[in-house]
Structure 1
Amino acid sequence: MSSTTSSVTPQLGGLAGVALFLVTVLAFVAESQLTQYVQTDLHYHKPFFIFYLVHSALAITFPLHLLYLSVTSKHSIAAILRGLRIAISNHLSPDTGSGSKTFPYPRFLWLVLLLTFGITCPSILWFAAISLASVSDVTAIWNTNAFFAYLITVQVFKLQWEARKLIAVVIATLGVAVVVYGGVTSGGEATSGIIEISSVPSAPVVGSILTLVASIGYGLYQVLYKMYAALPSDPEAKQHTPYQPIPDDGEIAAENEEYAVHHPPLGLHADLLTSLIGVATFLVLWIFIPVLHKTGVETFRWPSDRHTVLSIVAIALTGVVFNAGLMMLLSIWGPIITSVGNLLSIVVVVIYEVIFGDGLATLTVWSLLGCGVIVLAFGVLAYDMFTQQPSE
């Protein structure tokens, strides 16, 4: 299989991939609702500072993953880290092979910085837009990143247009619009109760434009992450041999005779990159806080009560789960099905309202139709993923 093909052919990731997907969707819904709650209901309108806290918190993902492996893995952490280092070296410097005497630190550093920049720009725009426009507009426009991810994938990888995938992505995007706007009266009030839009946004046009730019940027980020950052193959694609100890013949293991884990455990590489993005955010982007304060763009102040603090902590935790899960899914499933899969967050909101809200009274023909279309589109792409798996 060519490198280009392997870059765009999604891997299933087994049951772990499906479970990860479900958790990621739930985390995105929770983060979105909490973010709007803090900035509107609690009146703590500090989008950049909230973004800074949330993305700095990403630094905990890799240490937590190592802690988990120390309890569950039969291999030593040293062997796992050694195998991860070999995999990264082979990915960034394939010409040197596994016996490379030096780790490609400059390339790896540039990769982390570019990933930080790539995820920061659309994220900041989203945090800002969700307090300027209605959550309905932001939700609908943001989720067009599935469409842009497909367009960019076709252009970047020089692929042929596939009618079934294109139709699936388009109808999934339209399905979101049906759910969001289907129950809106001419007066602009939501009648379905699924997504509340009756509050008057402060700058709807600006917020919508920011969300559109963020959506395009996010689609581009997903494609480029899969192309350059993700390892060529995921260990869970070969579930019968997820861990293969092999001797490390290079300087990486010169000081001892321990073995290295050939295939890094599922998500470990993605969690490493996610953590380093968090570290880079914490070390670099704090400088914008005093700049924004001095210019009056975002006057800094600490949260005034414990409830706001706990709510921001909840945003950070759900943001960690979502971003870490997203990075893993991009490696396993690729940008197209991952972005369309995120549209299922709309379906989750509908189900939540039915169970914990006003019950069946919240359902409308539009919400049922939109949710059905989204699920159908995701099912089509999932079917393609199952049928296009590379043979062993």
Structure 2
Amino acid sequence: MDHEHSGRLLDEDRTSQDIELADLDGQSDRLIREEQPHPDAPIPAVPKTKASYIAIAIALIVTVIGFTVNTEATAYFEDVLGWKKPFCTMYITHSSLCIPWFCHLLWSRYKDRQMPYKAWVRDYNNQIRQTVASVDAYATSGSYLVIKKKGHTGGPLDFLASTMAIVTVVLTISGLSWFASLALTTPSDLTAIYNCSTFFAAAFSVPLLKERLGWLAIAAVAISIIGTFTIAYGDSTSEHEANAIGGSRLIGNLIASVGAVAFGLYEVLFKKWACSSKPMAPAASLPLTFAASALTGIYTFSTLWVGLIVLHITGVETFEVPSAYVCLWIFIGVMAGCLSINLLMVLVVWTDPVFGSMANVLSVFFVALADWFVFGLKPSIATYVGGAMIFVAFVLLTKHTLGESKH
């Protein structure tokens, strides 16, 4: 922790502990020139070191496993055990996004347990403020995004709270389509359609993040989408239609398409508003990433319970207390989803939204295999062909993202 900077940010004579937007008005152009040599340069990734690559690899592997477990567990307790409550499932899963933040806080406090509690809180808050203050969007457009009383300006925490509220709305749209379509289509179909979010993440990255997509990235996105659709539609549909899983594929796939657009936008907005514009070591970026993700969980928990009541009263989705066995599978699915979404955002911050989306793409092949073991939907040759294409796309995108300098 940089205690010299901490002292300046939390001067005892200040009436506010935030770095206000007004303080940056005269410096924003200079700060942007210093941090980004070219106005169209992409937001930097983590420093290119062996430790960073290892951290990225571990996060990617765990994310793929998490998405696979989440998809299969959710399909199991909805389609097999009969607890089809997509809105409630989404509510629980997105509300749980704050759990990694709480765990990170406990771990941070344990490491600094010798430090007085107030001093530890001050340093932690100061670290978050410093990181948010280094986000380009805070200096350039924070005044438009922060909701404050007339005559007041907002600080980094105000900016974070306002932007994550917008991100929560986008994630909610994506989540609703995910859980609604999962009850109508097969897990492999859903994963395939949803992975079109890679394309939309790439498309949104160009205007919002000023990314310059090279031919490797474009080719990787195209190959990955072809591969996912090969897996989804290369199999015989008769097997799916004869099974209780995925009986309404067309409607489910259309709903999933809306979620694909929203999820691609979610990744890009998170990168734009919750990622420092300065290269940082992987561990140094975690506090802001977890805090930002936790805000989406807190917003979800504190607001969307109203939807549960409305849906119950109208009979659209009546709430039923699940059995202990169903609760076990809900817990498994929710924890897997919570972990995978948080780590996905970690990957987005460490690399870029397109590479982060590749975690979703990689899960397609493994979800198809899991469908075989869990639901008896035996994969055809198309599954293996599509899987091979996805791995080729992953290699190309890895070379583009990690093999070239990002700043």
TM-score (norm 2): 0.77
CA distance in 1, matches of 2:103, 2:154: 27
Q: 1:88 aligns with which of 115, 121, 132?
A: 132
SS in 2 for 1:235: coil
Quote how far apart the aligned CAs of 1:366 are. 2.5
Aligned partner letter, 1:16? A
**Aligned twin of 1:306:** 324
Aligned partner letter, 1:213? V
CA distance in 2, matches of 1:142, 1:390: 27
TM-score (norm 1): 0.80
CA contact (8 A) 2:63 2:339 kept: yes
Quote how far apart the aligned CAs of 1:85 are. 2.3
**Aligned twin of 1:213:** 258
Residues 344-372 of structure 1, C-alpha deviations (whole Å, 9 max, x = no match)? 11233466689x789xx967543332221
**Aligned twin of 1:252:** none
CA distance in 2, matches of 1:41, 1:390: 46
CA distance in 1, matches of 2:374, 2:247: 27
CA distance in 2, matches of 1:49, 1:126: 12
Question: How do 1:19-38 and structure 2 match up within 5 A?
Answer: 19-38=58-77
**Aligned twin of 1:372:** 388
Instruction: Mark the CA change 1:148 to 1:175 in structure 2 (over 3 Å): closer, same or farther.
Output: same
CA distance in 1, matches of 2:224, 2:127: 39
**Aligned twin of 1:5:** 41
SS in 2 for 1:7: coil
Identity of aligned residues (%): 26
Q: Tell me, yes or no, if structure 1 residue 294 matches structure 2 residue 294.
A: no
Aligned partner letter, 2:206? V
Quote how far apart the aligned CAs of 1:157 are. 4.4
SS in 1 for 2:393: helix
Q: Tell me, yes or no, if structure 1 residue 274 matches structure 2 residue 293.
A: yes
CA distance in 2, matches of 1:43, 1:176: 28
CA contact (8 A) 2:274 2:288 kept: no
**Aligned twin of 1:47:** 86
Q: 2:238 aligns with which of 159, 171, 188?
A: 188
Quote how far apart the aligned CAs of 1:180 are. 2.9
Aligned partner letter, 2:382? W
CA contact (8 A) 1:136 1:197 kept: no
Quote how far apart the aligned CAs of 1:274 are. 1.3
Residues 46-92 of structure 1, C-alpha deviations (whole Å, 9 max, x = no match)? 11111111111122221201222334579954434422222223436
When structure 1 is superposed on structure 2, of 34-43 and 220-229 the one drifting more is 220-229
Quote how far apart the aligned CAs of 1:128 are. 0.7
Q: How many residues align?
A: 350
Quote how far apart the aligned CAs of 1:201 are. 3.6
CA distance in 2, matches of 1:217, 1:122: 5
Residues 321-351 of structure 1, C-alpha deviations (whole Å, 9 max, x = no match)? 0111011111111111111232111233466
Q: Tell me, yes or no, if structure 1 residue 69 matches structure 2 residue 119.
A: no
**Aligned twin of 2:219:** 167
Any gaps of 5 or more consecutive residues in structure 1?
96-100, 191-195, 243-264
Q: 2:362 aligns with which of 329, 344, 353?
A: 344
CA distance in 2, matches of 1:226, 1:117: 16
CA contact (8 A) 1:133 1:201 kept: yes
Residues 96-136 of structure 1, C-alpha deviations (whole Å, 9 max, x = no match)? xxxxx984443232112112112111011101110012223
Instruction: Mark the CA change 1:29 to 1:302 in structure 2 (over 3 Å): closer, same or farther.
Output: same
Q: 1:176 aligns with which of 223, 228, 250?
A: 228
Quote how far apart the aligned CAs of 1:306 are. 0.3
CA contact (8 A) 2:46 2:281 kept: no
Instruction: Mark the CA change 1:90 to 1:160 in structure 2 (over 3 Å): closer, same or farther.
Output: closer
Q: Tell me, yes or no, if structure 1 residue 142 matches structure 2 residue 194.
A: yes
CA distance in 2, matches of 1:235, 1:88: 13
CA contact (8 A) 2:188 2:367 kept: no
Instruction: Mark the CA change 1:127 to 1:8 in structure 2 (over 3 Å): closer, same or farther.
Output: farther
**Aligned twin of 2:399:** 383
**Aligned twin of 1:114:** 166
Any gaps of 5 or more consecutive residues in structure 2?
1-35, 141-152
Quote how far apart the aligned CAs of 1:93 are. 4.5
Q: Tell me, yes or no, if structure 1 residue 123 matches structure 2 residue 171.
A: no
Q: Which structure has more helix as a fraction of its residues?
A: 2
Aligned partner letter, 2:66? A
CA contact (8 A) 2:205 2:268 kept: yes
CA contact (8 A) 2:311 2:317 kept: yes
When structure 1 is superposed on structure 2, of 164-173 and 72-81 the one drifting more is 72-81
Quote how far apart the aligned CAs of 1:228 are. 2.3
Instruction: Mark the CA change 1:310 to 1:173 in structure 2 (over 3 Å): closer, same or farther.
Output: same
